[in-house]
Amino acid sequence: MAHEFPVQVYYEDTDMAGIVYHANYLKYIERARSDWVRGLGIDQNALRLAEGLVFVVRRIEADYLGPARFEEELLVRTEVKSVSGVRLGLSQEVVRDGKPLFRAEVTLVAITSEGHPARLPAAIRQQVH
């Protein structure tokens, strides 16, 4: 089941034409991922402090399908596609009235506070599987 996160387009999100600037879609899907993780009951700050682990984007492939504009209400859908010991694959899309405007395939990994790769905690792998 997909996680859904609402986004309101503000003036600051747009370019001179009133269209959402392309990099802001990445911000929208990042916010949605943070909300999704929080909804799973995972405290990312506690994980960082207790185990020295943080989640980072390893890879992202994005397709821009249509423009979003100032004051529109959007919805970000996040769905788990794959889970392994070290990677979490997500599919995310930004939609307006059910019409996709942006799609991304995102690979997340965990790293230590020193920047070294780490296994995803078992509790997290089991929770998203």
| CATH number of the domain residue 64 falls in | 3.10.129.10
| Cβ atoms of residues 75 and 95 within 8 Å | yes
Active site (catalytic) residues? 15
Q: Which class for 92: exposed (0-12), middle (13-18), buried (19 or more C-beta within 10 A)?
A: buried
Round to whole Å and give the CA distance between 51 and 26.
27
Residue type, 83: V
| Number of independent structural domains in the chain | 1
Tens of each residue's pLDDT in the chain, 129 residues:
799 999 999 999 999 999 999 999 999 999 999 999 999 888 899 999 998 999 999 999 999 999 999 999 999 999 999 999 999 999 999 999 999 999 999 999 999 999 999 998 887 888 887
What's the CA gap between 45 and 119, in Å, rounded? 17
Amino acid symbol at 23: A
The domain of 75 spans 3-128
Q: What is the pTM of this model?
A: 0.93
